[in-house]
Amino acid sequence: MRPIWRARMSATTVALLAAGLSASVMSAPSIAAPPACAGVAESEQAARDLAAACRQSVVIGSSRSEYGQVTVHADGTRTLEVAAVPQRVRQADGSWSDIDLGLARGADGSWRPKVSAADVAFSAGGSGPLVTLTRGGKTMTMSWPGTLPAPTVAGDTVTYGEVLPQVDLVVRATRTGFTHVLAVKSAAAGKNPKVRDIGFTLGGDARVQAAADGSLRAVAGDEVLASADPAEMWDSGTVRAGGRAATIAGARSSAAGAGDAARVAKVGLQLGAGRLSLRPDAKLLDAPDTVYPVYVDPTWQVGRTRWAYATNDGSSNLDYSAARVGLSSDTGAIYRSFFEFPTMPLTGKYIQSARVDMELTHSWSCSPTVTSMYSTATINATMKATWSAMTLQSFLDTATGNANELGCGTSQPNMTMRFEGSLVRSRVQVAADSAASFLTFGFTARDASGAGESSADRWKKFVPESARLVVDYDTAPAAPSALQVGTVACGAESVAAGTLTPALSAVFSDVDSGDLLTGQFEWIEVPVEGIGAVTDTVPARLTAPAAVTSVVPNTRATSDSVTVEDGKVYAFRARSMDRPPYSLTGPWSDWCQFTAS
């Protein structure tokens, strides 16, 4: 829960009031124009000032990235919200726009996603390139051997019908790139020699390279424009594991990915003379139990997503539209899903609360069942991680939910499952204290005791793009600076106060300019061994002056005077504490050594 807002006066406000009270009654005081309240301010300072003045939350523009952003609130606290999948894209003018994969036709007639991390253009038909990808002024093109028909366009997908008899060519924009899928609609079509050796002409500035595992890279000079995982193919089967029909919503195959019960096979490839040849698995094409359509797909991306899944039997599922947990009764595999969130903005911060939210889009059960969140090892591969490598390190939280659109009498809508609590907060605090770049969380169908992962009623699907780490945090005050004894500035050596009753002072700093601080002082008589022998407990502290309250950040505050004896060496230091209820205490300043004269 966010702390209750408190009314505060800034130093500027105090000065304006003082000036107003001393002004002549004959002169009407000028009234400052109200601030132009907006939801975004570019710098952190501007966002803090605007949030305090407008009593609203303001996004720090400079904190924005493809994955996350920081919002500052009127009470001075901040919220970091980061995702595992790109959420926005920086435009040419420096502004940010949320990703929108809906296709729009450009002036050149080609189809482009409205906002995507990848600058891709799809053909409107004809003999030009099927796909043109541009990055950093360099291009990669892929062309279909022959003339493309005028396509049909729906959402993020362009379909070129009957590029071969009973074969469609489907291209689709993704958040990080594009896919090009050949949809083979019948067994007869699968016997076509042109399906057994699918050739694309490569062009542009990039040179495509193949790795031993079948993955591809499009390289222009020293820059990798895009990469592709090893190509795979899948059928439209809906019966696996003892003949049970796949009834799960979205379980059937499509050009977007393999269904839960689909048969999957690797696709061979060959590169040469500006041509990429894909060679589908003949056994899958010819098998009598193969269910058509069969889809053949390499997926290209310009950046990586930060999530993956793993199965206990190493099975492959190419439908990356869903993150899964639990036992798939269609395949018999147990799924876990893993998400990696950037956390560098949290370095050195105090974590007030932390949670992970995910949108549940389907559950096997019509009643709420459990899902658990763990801290895990770093993702070893995307999108398909290795089960044994993705160790569950520590339990963090459970949540329950259900969203079943089939067989429950009434349709159960999607819902947000939230994983939060003290263990989640503590794990994020550890990351903040250790300046960790990323945190990885794993999601399983286990309960809090670690049991029940193979229970079929815990099977669930989540929307990967919805997974977000949301952290409310605060910043502790900095160590005070510019220490003085009376009016004498402290230095590297002992200074003379010039009085037996000096006051102690320091500038109390805090980046949260809306806070009011409490300044604390402590002082000692320096032992004969010198200041180097002083610890946090030795020697005994002398009676400290009263704390100074309601200190405006980044201003000087002075204590009551202390009484010293001539001829002795003393030292003092200061620290500050910010607002309740967290009352974050900053570090002590360096010691200032002084004598009376």
Task: Dump pLDDT digits (tens) for 269-282.
Answer: 999 889 999 999 99
The pLDDT score that the predictor gives to residue 75 is 81
Span 568-573, average pLDDT: 98
Longest dimension (CA), the chain: 105
By the 8 A CB rule, do 417 and 358 touch?
yes
The pLDDT score that the predictor gives to residue 158 is 97
Span 127-134, average pLDDT: 95
Residue 121 pLDDT > 90? yes
By the 8 A CB rule, do 200 and 224 touch?
no
CA 403 to chain centre: 25
The pLDDT score that the predictor gives to residue 581 is 61
Q: What is the pLDDT of residues 141-157, one digit of tens each?
A: 999 999 999 999 999 99
Residue 8 pLDDT > 60? no
Out of 3.40.50.10140, 3.40.190.10, 2.30.40.10, 2.60.40.10, which CATH number does the structure's domain 481-595 have? 2.60.40.10
- Alpha carbon dihedral 23, 28, 29, 34, in 10-degree steps, equals 180
Q: What is the pLDDT of residues 519-559, one digit of tens each?
A: 999 999 999 999 999 999 999 999 999 999 999 999 999 99
**Gap between the Cα atoms of 367 and 173, Å rounded:** 35
The pLDDT score that the predictor gives to residue 260 is 76
Residue 11 pLDDT > 60? no
Question: Which residue matches tokens 């019948």?
Answer: 186
Residue 471 pLDDT > 60? yes
For β-strands 239-240 and 232-234, DSSP reports them as unpaired
**CATH for 323-474?**
2.60.120
3-state secondary structure of 50: helix
Task: Check for a shared fold between 323-474 and 481-595.
Answer: no
Residues present in the chain in total: 597
3-state secondary structure of 400: strand
Question: Which residue matches tokens 């019966």?
Answer: 239
Residue 26 pLDDT > 90? no
Confidence of residue 302 (pLDDT cuts 50, 70, 90): confident
The pLDDT score that the predictor gives to residue 277 is 94
Mean pLDDT of the chain: 89
pLDDT-above-90 percentage for the chain: 73
Q: Where are the domains of the chain?
A: 96-304, 323-474, 481-595
The pLDDT score that the predictor gives to residue 307 is 94
Strand ranges (E), 267-349: 268-272, 275-279, 294-297, 299-301, 307-311, 323-327, 334-342
The pLDDT score that the predictor gives to residue 5 is 35
Residue 136 pLDDT > 90? no
The pLDDT score that the predictor gives to residue 476 is 87
The pLDDT score that the predictor gives to residue 77 is 84
Q: Look up residue 344 and give its amino acid.
A: M
Residue 250 pLDDT > 50? no
The pLDDT score that the predictor gives to residue 590 is 97
pTM of the model as a whole: 0.79
The pLDDT score that the predictor gives to residue 251 is 64
Residue 15 pLDDT > 50? no
